[in-house]
Each structure stands twice: as structure tokens, then as C-alpha cells.
Amino acid sequence: MRDGGAGEAPVREGAAGKAEVFRRLHHGRAPDDPLVLPGPWDAASARALVAAGFPALATPSAGVAAALGHADGETPADEMFAAVARIARSVDVPVSADVEDGYGLAPGELVERLLEAGAVGCNLEDSAHGVLKDPHEQADYLAAVRAAAGGRLFVNARVDTFVRRVPDVAGTIERARLYVAAGADCVYPILAPLDVLPLLRAAVEGPLNAIATVGDGPSIAELGERGATRITFGPGLQQRATAALREIAGTLRHRRRG
């Protein structure tokens, strides 16, 4: 872990204030008005999203990985934290960071590195290498992260049952409840079907994160009405931007031949 210093306390107070601003965005929302957190993959995309009026951002690990030249799940921790830091310092809104399953870091070190990067929150997955973790062990890890953060980070606990093709609603609810009890601020049952969201909403306290697609699928309002408190897009925006660039590049090649 990194050493503190004479300026440590003021930095931590500032981090707590930013996290609280971010935390408040998740509460008191109308059912058809969930918090929308688009996912930047670099400083330029972050600035564009803030210019569009979004009050906060949430980086996608897969989108950042693609921008850095890595496959999803294969970004070295140092590169991911450096990318998050570039994004966070490029904008004046809260930025939450997807840090996969924590890269094997001890809770205290993970918290310290997130705060150093300027993040106000994090996503933490409950699977690694395609395999679900023991939910009780994951709950213990989340509790330790929350304790180390001391309110300075908004912890979004991802529940990977559906993305790992274990569509057990009861098991998903059990995991989500354990994570909330451990201190998670929000739970994220990624890829949960639309008809499952009301079941999760009824069974789990606190904010609920749902993933949306760009251009098709359920609307943001519909996801909110089904129970989602906040909406993220995974790497969808980065993939859409890359597709647009391919189209532009194809047009340029055509003009060159003309």
C-alpha cells in the first residue's frame, strides 16, 4: 500500500464528499427516470458525454480494454487504473470505475488505488475467469472494501449469474441480498432478463443497476419501470463508436478511389 502524507486527510474528505454527491444521484428517483451513467473509454469520450449533460459517468472495463488494445478481462491493473485516472481528471463530474473483480488486490490497496485515480465508486464482479465466486466469500470481500473506503466509494456489486449462464433467480437474489448486507450501495445483476427485474426489485433493498443496449432493446424508461434504479451500457457505446468509425473509414476509402 502507498504511504500517506501531510495532505492525506483533506484528500479523503474531498473523496467522501464526491462519493456522497454520487450516492445521492441514486436515491429519490421516479420509476421512469433511472440514473443513466454512460461509459467513457478515454478522456475524449468522457468530455463528450459530459458536454451532452450527463451528471456522472461509469467506465466499462471491456470498453477501456478495447481502447488499450486488450481483450476483455485481460487489462493489467496498472493500465486500467491509469486509464481511469485520465478519464476522471478530464471531467468535473463523478466517475465510477469498473475494476473487474479487483485484480486480486487486498481491499485496502484496491480502495487506495481507486481514490488515487479519482474514482468515486467501483464495480466489482463476483466471478473470475468465467466462474462464479463463492457468494459468502465475495460478501466478505465487499464488506472489507466498504470498511476500507469509509464512505469514500460507492460500491456497485455485480452479480454474474446470468452472464455466466447460471440463470438461477433465487440464487441471484441470495447473492444480491448478501452483498447489500455486506454494505454494497447497489447491486448489478448484469444481463438479468426484463421480466426478472421486478422480482429482484421486490426482493432486494437499495439501488438496482441494469444494462441497456444502444439503439434497440427495452427503453431506459421501461427498465426503470421494471425496477432499475440506474442504467449502464457496458462496452456498448465504445462498440457503437468503433462501428461508426469503420463506416467513416469505408467512406474515405471510397472517396480516395473516386
Q: Average pLDDT per run of 10 along the chain, which is 258 residues long? A: 35 72 96 97 98 98 98 97 98 97 98 98 97 98 98 97 96 98 98 97 97 91 97 97 95 75
pLDDT at 255: 75
pLDDT of the residue at 216: 85
CB 54 within 8 A of CB 230: no
- In this prediction, residue 256 carries a pLDDT of 64
Cell of 222: 421501461
Give the cell for residue 24. 445521492
Q: Is the pTM of this model over 0.85?
A: yes
Amino acid making up residue 101: D
d(CA 5, CA 147): 21
Please tell me the predicted confidence (pLDDT) of residue 6: 35
Per the CB < 8 A criterion, the answer to whether 126 and 167 are in contact is no
CB 232 within 8 A of CB 60: yes
Query: Considering only CA atoms, which of 100, 89, 95 is closest in space to residue 141?
Result: 100
